[in-house]
Amino acid sequence: MGANTSQVNDLSQNPSLGSLVGTEAISENDPFWNQLISFTFTSPTSSRDSKLLEEAVIPLAKILIENNPRTGNFGALVKIFLGRTKELKISTECQDQLFIWQAHNALFMIRCLLKVFVREMSEEELHMQFSYQERAPGSSETGSEDLLEELICNLVHLIVEVPLLDITYSILFEAVTTLLVLLSYQLFHKEILRDGIIYKYLMLGKCVDLTSRLVKTLLYNFIRQEKCPPPVTHIFESQSEGGGLLYGLASGVASGLWTVFTLGGAGSKLSPDQEQQPLPLPNQSLLLLLVLANLSDGPDWPNPYRQAIKSFKNTQDTSSIPSPNPHAFQINFNSLYTALCDQQRSDQATLLLYILLHQNTNVRTYVLSRTDTENLVMPILDILYHVEDRNSHHVYMALIILLILTEDDTFNRSIHEVMLKNITWYTERSLTEISLGSLLILVVIRTIQFNMTRTRDKYLHTNCLAALANMSAQFRCLHQYAAQRIISLFALLSKKHNKVLEQATQSLRGPMGSEGNAALPDYAQDLNVIEEVIRMMLEIINSCLSNSLHHNPNLVYALLYKRELFEQFRSHPSFQDIMQNLDTVIGFFSARLEQAGSDLSVERVQEVIKKGAVALPKDRLKKFPELKFKYVEEDQPEDFFIPYVWSLVFNSGVGLHWTPQGIELFSMDSS
């Protein structure tokens, strides 16, 4: 790092870069291009290094914007890159590192320039920068091809055709990153972009034929989680103090020119921050996949990338039924499941899991059929448990994933059969042994309590309670602590209800001035919300008692221990019907405990409850409709998901830095 980064600012004085952006057109056949793209560097991966680089590139890019209409040098650079990519697959098979290295360098330069162009000009103006023709003798005839579309198709083709090896890692990373840069126009618009030149190329252009292969490749890049190879495998060994080995006659020019870019090169140690960074290609591939999957449908065409994500199947699926979707493909579900379990610490992996569970029935069926669902559920619970440290969108996604899973009765039964030992991250109480189901209940209840005291988000409450309600009929052998927390949550709600009721009553008794009248609707709304939550909690407790009383002696014990909590709700019109069953259970077991004598030990009480649970006639409990809630995506989900996805690109894109000024899609507080 050290001395190298200080030289980045000298780029504006570099003669070769001066020629590229200058007023003279350079023919595609000029040896200049071979010299320009022969340099050794490792792309910056940290935001800080990317910022330094971009600050150095901006003045050069602005000069190029001014001169390119007369020189066409930017188009010439793009054609140099396109010319080299035609042989990339063969070069990879032949281990021709020089060829790959030069193609990579050309693309890196294009990406750096495009990053500035996107901020500085409209899509139409960007398109024009591609269309300006070379004015130099010896330049090839361009015909009528659209160079921007050709670049986009070429990048997609490169991603799906070139195998991922040490020598191709960097160019694949650049291809994915360049597509993200081209799509980043969305960052600078508050409204969702539903058309535009780049949008139409990706949704309707020539590269649509590669949709399924692109989605599959990006998924496999995420699944493989390949680390960036050490620099020696994808750049040339240094042979002089000042720079890398530069091929043939190019070495004299390039060596002093580009070694300033060795920001994360062979000789530099990773800082602790860099060690925590996501892996470049897997992370960038996932971000591009999420951006493509969330492009808006057109008026007459669905998003092909979303269609591909919705319909892909397991490689183990031997059914011969052809998919009606033209973008269908197969992928190894076991590998995908393992990667999803391992990567849930990142927002983008949780968002991918949500999309797959919600939109792809094949994936959802597979996940629910696994006998090791704890490997997936535990990381999700970890996200919810550390709610204070997560952004609200990540928490929402984790919660909705749980809600989708709890729509399945087999899942709700199986989680109580999985026993876990020593949950170290759960610090409120030592849990030496607990079922996955009981732990799930504890974490969801904790999320509700956190929300009550901090964020007071009704949406969060609703989804937490819906997940508990879906599970309630299948509660089995609840851990003593889980049973206590269910009743403790009810006690907290009851206390809050009484407090709000008291405040509302006092405001009614107060002077009938403007302040008193203004406060009244707030109290009425608060009271209404809290009574809805109390009703829901009573229904959850009732559902468990009605369907699996004999499996849950700990819940009956907790209910009896705090029976006085429920007395105030007996005569309340909103709760009378649901209170009948709770009264029946409390009355029945209270009578049996009285018969058993006084001063009973805890063990004796539990014994009486277990015997009573078998003896209680089921017809004594009134039947209520089964509690079942299904997650439904809101209308126009893109209004939520597109800003969210781009906030992830903004915050997590490897080697990408955007200054907050000019970002319109989301407020910088929410990013």
The more confident residue out of 613 and 410 is 410
Q: How far apart are CA 501 and CA 229, in angstroms?
A: 64
Among 38, 101, 108, 42, smallest CA distance to 248 is for 38
Residue 67 and residue 22 in contact, taking contact as beta carbons nearer than 8 Å: yes
**Per-residue model confidence (pLDDT) at position 10:** 66
Q: Which of 45-49, 462-466, 633-637 is predicted most confidently?
A: 462-466
Determine the 3-state secondary structure of 654 from DSSP. Answer: coil
Mean pLDDT of the 105-128 span? 96
Of the pLDDT bands very low, low, confident and very high (cuts 50, 70, 90), residue 337 is: very high
**What are the tokens at 53?**
């680089």
**Per-residue model confidence (pLDDT) at position 288:** 98
What are the backbone angles phi and psi of residue 240, rounded to the nearest 5°? -145, 160
Does residue 45 register a pLDDT over 80? Answer: no
The more confident residue out of 462 and 671 is 462
- First-residue to last-residue Cα distance in the chain: 29
Q: How far apart are CA 85 and CA 76, in angstroms?
A: 14
Q: How far apart are CA 53 and CA 42, in angstroms?
A: 12
Of the pLDDT bands very low, low, confident and very high (cuts 50, 70, 90), residue 378 is: very high
Handedness of CA 274, 275, 280, 283 (dihedral sign): negative
**What are the tokens at 640?**
């939520």
Determine the 3-state secondary structure of 104 from DSSP. Answer: helix
Among 590, 577, 591, 588, smallest CA distance to 622 is for 577
Q: Which of 163-167, 257-261, 479-483 is predicted most confidently?
A: 479-483
Does residue 522 register a pLDDT over 90? Answer: no
Mean pLDDT of the 216-241 span? 72
Question: Looking at the DSSP assignment, which residues form a beta bridge with residue 238?
Answer: 244
Question: What one-letter code names the amino acid at 315?
Answer: T
Share of the chain above pLDDT 70, in %: 86
**What are the tokens at 530?**
């809290």
Mean pLDDT of the 515-536 span? 72
Residue 360 and residue 352 in contact, taking contact as beta carbons nearer than 8 Å: no
Q: How far apart are CA 490 and CA 93, in angstroms?
A: 66
Does residue 188 register a pLDDT over 60? Answer: yes
Residue 540 and residue 468 in contact, taking contact as beta carbons nearer than 8 Å: yes
Does residue 47 register a pLDDT over 90? Answer: no
Does residue 154 register a pLDDT over 90? Answer: yes
Question: What one-letter code names the amino acid at 82?
Answer: L
Residue 397 and residue 351 in contact, taking contact as beta carbons nearer than 8 Å: yes
Distance of CA 128 to the CA centre of its chain: 34
Of the pLDDT bands very low, low, confident and very high (cuts 50, 70, 90), residue 99 is: confident
Q: Residue 140's CB: how many other CB atoms inside 10 A?
A: 13
Does residue 2 register a pLDDT over 90? Answer: no
Among 420, 507, 490, smallest CA distance to 452 is for 490
Reported residue count of the chain is: 671
Q: How far apart are CA 441 and CA 405, in angstroms?
A: 14
Q: How far apart are CA 233 and CA 243, in angstroms?
A: 16
Q: How many helices (H) and strands (E) does the chain have?
A: 30, 4
**Per-residue model confidence (pLDDT) at position 137:** 52
Q: How far apart are CA 625 and CA 539, in angstroms?
A: 10
**What are the tokens at 589?**
């077991």
313-314 and 330-331: which strand pairing? parallel
Mean pLDDT of the 321-343 span? 89
Residue 648 and residue 287 in contact, taking contact as beta carbons nearer than 8 Å: yes
Residue 540 and residue 581 in contact, taking contact as beta carbons nearer than 8 Å: no
Q: What is the DSSP letter of 10?
A: G
CA torsion, ordered 500, 502, 508, 511, to nearest 10 deg = -110
- The overall average pLDDT reported for the chain is 85
Q: Which residues contact 56 (CB under 8 A, 6 or more apart)?
A: 8, 9, 11, 12
Q: How far apart are CA 120 and CA 132, in angstroms?
A: 17
**Per-residue model confidence (pLDDT) at position 247:** 34
Mean pLDDT of the 247-264 span? 34
Does residue 259 register a pLDDT over 80? Answer: no
The more confident residue out of 141 and 485 is 485
**What are the tokens at 517?**
């009248």
Residue 482 and residue 442 in contact, taking contact as beta carbons nearer than 8 Å: yes
Handedness of CA 254, 255, 260, 265 (dihedral sign): positive
Does residue 251 register a pLDDT over 50? Answer: no
Of the pLDDT bands very low, low, confident and very high (cuts 50, 70, 90), residue 269 is: very low
The residue written with tokens 């919660």 in the block is 399
Mean pLDDT of the 271-291 span? 80
The more confident residue out of 112 and 233 is 112
Tell me how far CA of residue 310 lies from CA of 208, 216, 360, 476, 639, in angstroms.
16, 12, 4, 34, 20
Q: How far apart are CA 465 and CA 448, in angstroms?
A: 8
**Per-residue model confidence (pLDDT) at position 69:** 95
Determine the 3-state secondary structure of 626 from DSSP. Answer: coil
The more confident residue out of 86 and 554 is 554
Does residue 455 register a pLDDT over 80? Answer: no
Q: Residue 618's CB: how many other CB atoms inside 10 A?
A: 10
Q: Residue 158's CB: how many other CB atoms inside 10 A?
A: 22
**Per-residue model confidence (pLDDT) at position 301:** 87
Poorest-pLDDT segment among 67-71, 116-120, 253-257, 494-498: 253-257
CA torsion, ordered 118, 119, 123, 126, to nearest 10 deg = -60
**What are the tokens at 430?**
């030592």
Residue 285 and residue 218 in contact, taking contact as beta carbons nearer than 8 Å: yes
